[in-house]
Structure 1
Amino acid sequence: MFVPSPKETRAHRTLAALAVHRQATGEQLHRLVVPDSGPRALVPVLAQLAEEELIGSITLPNSGRKRAWFLTHRGAGVCRDWPELRGRQPLPLSTSMAASMRAAHTLTVVRTHLAFLDDAREQGDEYGPLDWAPEVAHNVSDGERLVADALMRYVVLGAEGRVKLRAFVEVDRATMSGEDLAAKLISYARFHTYTPPAPGGRLTAGSNSVAWLRWYPTMPRVLFVLTGAGPRALANRLADLREMAAEHPLVAAMAAKVPLGAAVLEDVEEHGARAAVWTSLAGPEERCGWDELKPASAPAARVT
């Protein structure tokens, strides 16, 4: 009797990866989809998907003609109802110009995800290519929204068993001022306390609950990943984040309950995401793993 394989094809997994991440280079897709295969394993897959107009590509500047791949509208239609993408809207790019304008930030966000993914594979943790959701949005008032670069759902496997962690991730390429970067903490602090009004002004069960409880059992920690500048500039940006966490009353109140941290992307890539490369934004400046970050009012403790 024929038993269908439970594993999806490489073409399927490639489309799913692009549906989630918007764009990725061939090398990034290889690490997402077929990390244990040869370096050219996806070349025929990408060629076939491009021939069927399910994906498109652009040539990246100053890259030796490396290409970034993206989902087309036709490709989005193919994968829109796939089970692994439920609750996520596949996001195609309509033109090569649109892809080019987004490439620098989008590919850096994917690069950040891969730093966590590579480390999780080495550590034996539960974290896969689709456990990273880019551009997650939440209301912080009736007319304003918080849009995180990504939401990460991660399970640490250690002596204490499975420890489920969630994190909002902000990827900073040093394209805005340090003050504007630090101001993002205010948006997270507002989301931390935001209670949406009940429909019609009526009090109902749960109407006094903060909004994040609708999606998360605990408020996700907030991680800033810094890159795109020299060591001194990145140190100054970290100092701006710590200053905001100490001086803004809403942010300080959140920091007492929610772990906040920052690290340099190159350090995360070199040493591993769970290595001692993260600095807490509230409390002592000693470096630790991102999974070790604690609220300002709690003592540090390592997850092993």
Structure 2
Amino acid sequence: MTHSTSSVPAAELAPSPAEPLRLQVLTALALHRMATTGQLRQMLRPDSSRQLVSRVLNRLRSTGFVDLTPLPDSDRSRTHAWYLTPEGSRLTRDIPILRGRPPYPITSTTAASLKTPHTLTVVRAHLPFAADARRLGHEHGPWDWTPEVAHLIGEGERLVADAVMHYTVVDGEHRRKLRAFVEVDRSTMSSERLAVKLIEYARLFLYEVQPVGRRRPTSTGPTWLRWYPVFPRVLFVLTGASRARLGDRISDLQAMVAQHPLVAALAREVQLGAGVLEDIEEHGPSGSVWVPLTGGEPRPWTNL
């Protein structure tokens, strides 16, 4: 769906100290790729009405910056996923929070529908962390969850994390900054392929780039130090299957930790955990819903 945008000057959507909701909606869709009206409300205005966000979205659609695709579930036929049009993507390119992020235009409803299930599940995984942070007085908001973050792991290969999360635990005057790679599993791939993601994280943990032109290899340290002061913990969020099957998938992740030497070495330095999305939503991420991949009783993600 294409509309003329000449009636809405770009300056109207430029950042301002008040951060108008329309700007926040555009930024959220640029960063998170896609979201439903309800998800955007929970993310940006959790204490407001759904109609407030709907009005902003409909106005942005009428001016050609966003479009929508219906969700495939017939029981939710009135629910849609919103995404940026190419014009909306161009408009958001210079928003400070998005600088350095690759553009992600979706040019058709068909293209949007192919990405909908996984993208919306990643957004769904983010929302309990944001709600927990608001409840506990911690710091974690819409811009602290960055989807599809890629890192080189050697031999021309890349690891693409479903999301990188930044979260600050606030306890009086004490602030504890935490980071996590988040992998969202909808049970659409084999359990073995899911567990192989741990090998990729172990490779990232060890990967170093050798300076060009030196006769002797000189270590510059692991490449992840360019972005993180400590290696982020790795969280697997599972959904889309029976409890028994999800339990089996967690067991397979634990087996990879126990059996693969590189993953075992990673687990000695990095906290690794897995949780069921429905449990995370019901009890919050700070509940005892995360299974340590090194073994042990479920616990909060901050205590893995």
What TM-score do you get using the length of structure 1 for normalisation?
A: 0.91
The reply to whether residue 49 of structure 1 matches residue 60 of structure 2 is: yes
What is the identity, as a one-letter code, of the residue corresponding to 2:245?
A
Q: Secondary structure at the match of 1:273?
A: coil
Name the counterpart of 1:299: none
- CA–CA separation in structure 2 for the residues paired with 1:5 and 1:14: 14
- CA–CA separation in structure 1 for the residues paired with 2:113 and 2:16: 37
- CA–CA separation in structure 1 for the residues paired with 2:35 and 2:142: 12
List runs of 5+ in structure 1 lacking aligned partners. Answer: 294-304
Q: Which of 151, 155, 162 matches 2:175?
A: 162
Name the counterpart of 2:262: 250
Name the counterpart of 2:83: 70
State the identity as a percent: 52
The alpha-carbon deviation at position 71 of structure 1 amounts to: 0.7
What is the identity, as a one-letter code, of the residue corresponding to 1:268?
I
Is 1:148–1:168's contact at 8 Å kept on the other side of the alignment?
yes
Per the alignment, do residues 134 and 202 of structure 1 end up closer, same or farther by CA in structure 2, a change over 3 Å counting? Answer: farther
The alpha-carbon deviation at position 5 of structure 1 amounts to: 6.2
Is 1:261–1:281's contact at 8 Å kept on the other side of the alignment?
yes
The alpha-carbon deviation at position 65 of structure 1 amounts to: 2.1
Q: Which of 271, 276, 281 matches 2:283?
A: 271
Is 2:274–2:292's contact at 8 Å kept on the other side of the alignment?
yes
The alpha-carbon deviation at position 125 of structure 1 amounts to: 0.5
The alpha-carbon deviation at position 159 of structure 1 amounts to: 5.4
Higher helix share: 2
The alpha-carbon deviation at position 10 of structure 1 amounts to: 0.7
CA RMSD of aligned residues (A): 1.6
Name the counterpart of 1:12: 23
Q: Secondary structure at the match of 2:269?
A: coil
The alpha-carbon deviation at position 207 of structure 1 amounts to: 4.1
- CA–CA separation in structure 1 for the residues paired with 2:102 and 2:131: 26
Name the counterpart of 1:297: none
The reply to whether residue 188 of structure 1 matches residue 188 of structure 2 is: no
Matches within 5 A, 1:203-282: 207-282=219-294
The reply to whether residue 35 of structure 1 matches residue 46 of structure 2 is: yes
Is 2:37–2:50's contact at 8 Å kept on the other side of the alignment?
no
Per the alignment, do residues 202 and 132 of structure 1 end up closer, same or farther by CA in structure 2, a change over 3 Å counting? Answer: farther
The alpha-carbon deviation at position 199 of structure 1 amounts to: 2.4
Structure 1 runs of 4+ off > 6 angstroms? none
Deviations 1:37-80 (CA, angstroms, capped at 9, x unpaired)? 11211111111100111001011122132110001110011110
Name the counterpart of 1:95: 108
